[in-house]
Structure 1
Amino acid sequence: MTDIAHHIPEALLASYVSGTLAQPFALVVAAHVSICEECRANLAAHEAVGGVLLDAFDPISITSDLRNRVMAGLDDDIPPEPERPRGDDTFPTPVLEALGSKAPKWRSLGPGAKQCILNAGKEGSVRLLHIAPGFAVPDHTHGGLELTLVLQGAFKDETGRFARGDLEVADDTLEHTPVAEEGMPCICLAATDAPLKFSAFVPRLLQPLFRI
């Protein structure tokens, strides 16, 4: 087993299995599951329960026409699925897929910090954050849910220490100032469904520019 100390809450995992979790959060969950043996086993248990529930439903009869069209479709040529990129020591497979198997295109957020936005839309946004050792993310709270998965290095905040594989779940009840530990840069995968609420004036002023 791994040394991961902070895992996916049951409610989020159940939402992920049912397919109702918003895409930005689903990417973070998929990345965590890919490197966490404990949550991977928990995911399999949730999927097994879902299979049992489906078996409990009464079968639905279909028309012969629909059955024939489905069977005919099985003869169609289906192109082979492209080979999935293999995760490395920093970026797990789901993150590499989101990057298109390319290196992150980092954009500066100011001294000691940069980001690479992977996706942003109505459901929220998901991005990679690169924080230099010893630097802090400005003090903030949240307008909604934030999931932060550590991919490299570690950070500390008011709730504890988070290293590779650890997942921090934050909402509007948490105000914190994450600080990257000394050593290697801290790289995180972070998803939000609402803008952060920074305490200081300058981060609030630059927030629209950085889309965070």
Structure 2
Amino acid sequence: MIKFHPSLEQLSEFAEGSLSSVEAIMVSAHCDMCERCQQVVASETERLAEDVLDSFDARQSSEFERMLSSITQLPPSDKSDRPSRTTGSCEKFTIELDGRQFVLPRTLRRFVDKTGNWSSLVGRLWQAPVDLGFPGVANFIYMERGGSVPEHTHRGTEYTLVLDGEFRDGINAYDTGDFIYMDGDHTHAPKSEATKGCLVFSVVDQPLHFTSGLARLLNPFSHMFFR
């Protein structure tokens, strides 16, 4: 069951299109998986539309009605003029790791072809880098059963969406669909004990800062971690 959601403010800003690119992707992907947040966004979108219509003065309203009338009176378009859809093209719905297929939320499917190869990290971790096309280091990260990320905090922000499975980080327990935001006020150590492990999609805007054990030796090189 999804327990962690974007804030109402984030959902409202998503509806009005004022979130940053990274935040919008993460909120959108969460909404793909969360009926509750879909309903909130739909309600906010409807409210914003009503606000726009209410802001029309009489002249603007009259012009809008004339435009709408002219559109509805146009003859139907000839379907033969429409470009045909390429029959061989199809959207990729999944990513694969070691023979296992993971179905992605709709928002993330456009990044399948921009996802690099999986690489194995220490701690039973796997990562596959994703080219978002704008600032932000993004990765699909898979934790095998018993897999963990060393305890760390953040120099910037980290958005994580649980795509499959569950994990704990010493702060909370997270399940499929959960939306997680971390910053410099948080220190955590993600670890999955799920039988089939856990797949997440994560975006950070600054390198991690490791806070415990030998992992602290990685801090001078943390810009290379989760590249």
TMscore range, shorter length: 0.7 to 0.9
Superposed, 1:8-157 pairs within 5 Å as 8-58=6-56, 59=60, 84-86=91-93, 90-100=103-113, 105-119=117-131, 123-157=135-169
**Please, which runs of 5 or more residues in structure 2 have no aligned partner?**
65-73, 95-100
Tell me by how many angstroms 1:85 deviates. Answer: 4.7
Q: Distance in 2 between matches of 1:89 and 1:7?
A: 22
The one-letter amino acid paired with 2:126 is K
- Does the CA contact (< 8 Å) of 1:25 and 1:191 recur in 2? no
- Does the CA contact (< 8 Å) of 1:154 and 1:163 recur in 2? yes
The one-letter amino acid paired with 1:118 is V
Pair 1:176 & 2:188 matched: yes
- Does the CA contact (< 8 Å) of 1:24 and 1:192 recur in 2? no
Count of residue pairs the alignment pairs up: 201
- Judging by fraction of residues, say which structure has more helix: 2
Tell me by how many angstroms 1:54 deviates. Answer: 1.6
- Does the CA contact (< 8 Å) of 2:93 and 2:104 recur in 1? no
Report sequence identity in percent: 26
Change (3 A) 1:127 1:33: same
Q: Partner of 1:67 in structure 2?
A: none
Deviations 1:113-161 (A, max 9, x none): 1211213565323221111111211111112222211111111122211
Q: Partner of 2:218 in structure 1?
A: 203
- Tell me the TM-score normalized by structure 2: 0.74
Deviations 1:1-41 (A, max 9, x none): xx211111112222222222222222221211111111111
Change (3 A) 1:110 1:79: farther
The one-letter amino acid paired with 2:39 is A
Tell me by how many angstroms 1:173 deviates. Answer: 0.8
Superposed, 1:179-190 pairs within 5 Å as 179-190=191-202
Give the alignment's Cα RMSD to 1 decimal: 3.2
Q: Distance in 2 between matches of 1:120 and 1:207?
A: 20
The one-letter amino acid paired with 1:91 is L
- Does the CA contact (< 8 Å) of 1:25 and 1:192 recur in 2? no
- Tell me the TM-score normalized by structure 1: 0.79
Tell me by how many angstroms 1:78 deviates. Answer: 6.5
**Please, which runs of 5 or more residues in structure 1 have no aligned partner?**
63-70
Q: Distance in 2 between matches of 1:51 and 1:57?
A: 10
Q: Distance in 2 between matches of 1:85 and 1:156?
A: 30
- Pick one of 158, 172, 176 that aligns with 1:164: 176
Change (3 A) 1:50 1:93: same
The one-letter amino acid paired with 2:181 is V
Q: Secondary structure at the match of 2:103?
A: coil
Kindly name which structure, 1 or 2, has the bigger radius of gyration based on alpha carbons. 2
Q: Distance in 1 between matches of 2:34 and 2:199?
A: 17
